[in-house]
Amino acid sequence: MDRVPNNQALKGRTVLVSSVGAAAELGIELERSGARVITAPEIESREPESYVALDEAIENIFGYDWLIFASVHAVDYFLRRFHQLNHDISELDDLRICAIRNASTTRLEEMQVHVDLVPDSHAAIRVIEALEAYVGGREAFRTANFLIPRSATSIDPLPQLLEDAGARVDVVATYRIASTNESLLAQSRALLVGGGIDYVAFSSPSDVAMLAQLLDTNDLSRHLQEVIIACIDQPTKQAAHEFGLSAVVVPPDSSIPAFVEAIRSFQYRQR
């Protein structure tokens, strides 16, 4: 089989890479192979643009049966506002608390908030299964009220799955995901959600976590179904799997040249 010239192998393909670490070199090499490279911006969490919805939810906290925390950001910003409104942690004792991911659980325990359920996976369907087992069947969802603190731009599928099961779900903007390059952040989100990305190339496990944070979700599978996932090594592949992704490109060794060649070879085989 003839090899495709380096500058044409990925022509017409759009690849998303991280902005940190080895990803910078990776982006350069991918561009040399003809790819259009989108570099995801560095991101951070900030206070929400408005507290109206969150304040209303907190003031009516006894109207909920479940409080689901899906990230450390959700824990930190929710409890900070909870205290600012002169509420005491003991007021959460009558609610069931579900914590997704170990970091969320640890932070809640540090803040002396009881945790009733920690699903063994943070994929949305697995969280639903864990909740169903806890409440004794899906029928119980029909009388359950869930409060989920998230960012306003979250694409996490869990709320919709809960509603499909018959539950009432309020997702309240508790924080926002921001960047010093807001235009690039908006572009990255739009391309990912709108199907404008062909490949996502992860050069470390932290890259996977960063992308999940960018979209504020613990389950990347739904919006990246048509995207080819490339991981530089097995630990990164495992990290992708934990967020619901299946890596189809993994090089035999973890060097940047080998990684780019693996992506190029995969693309050549698709032609």
Cβ atoms 179, 153 nearer than 8 A:
no
- Identity of residue 150: R
Cβ atoms 240, 211 nearer than 8 A:
no
Gap between the Cα atoms of 259 and 237, Å rounded: 13
10-residue mean pLDDT series, the chain (271 residues): 60 86 82 92 92 97 96 96 96 95 91 95 91 93 96 92 96 94 90 91 92 91 89 95 92 93 88 68
**The pair of three-digit structure tokens given for residue 233, joined into one six-digit string:** 């090594």
**The pair of three-digit structure tokens given for residue 262, joined into one six-digit string:** 């693996």
Q: Does domain 14-43+179-270 have CATH number 3.40.50.10090?
A: yes
Gap between the Cα atoms of 118 and 98, Å rounded: 6
Q: How many residues in the chain?
A: 271
Which of the 8 DSSP states describes residue 249?
B
192-211: burial string, b at 16+ Cβ within 10 Å, e else: beeeebbbbbbbbbebbebb
Tokens 């380096």 found at: 6
Task: Report pLDDT for 2.
Answer: 46
Within the chain, residue ranges assigned H as helices are 23-32, 52-59, 72-84, 102-110, 124-135, 158-164, 182-194, 205-214, 234-242, 256-270
Gap between the Cα atoms of 2 and 12, Å rounded: 19
Gap between the Cα atoms of 253 and 131, Å rounded: 40
233-251: burial string, b at 16+ Cβ within 10 Å, e else: beebbebbebbbbebebbb
Task: Report pLDDT for 216.
Answer: 92
Domain spanning 51-176, CATH class: alpha beta
Gap between the Cα atoms of 164 and 122, Å rounded: 18
Domains 14-43+179-270 and 51-176 share a fold: yes
Task: Report pLDDT for 1.
Answer: 37
Which of the 8 DSSP states describes residue 61?
G
Domain boundaries, the chain: 14-43+179-270, 51-176
Q: pTM, whole model, 2 decimals?
A: 0.86
Q: Coil, strand, or helix at residue 38?
A: strand
Q: Is 136 left (phi over 0), alpha (psi -120 to 50) or beta?
A: left
Cβ atoms 56, 31 nearer than 8 A:
no
The C-alpha R_g of the chain, in whole angstroms, comes to 21
Gap between the Cα atoms of 130 and 136, Å rounded: 10
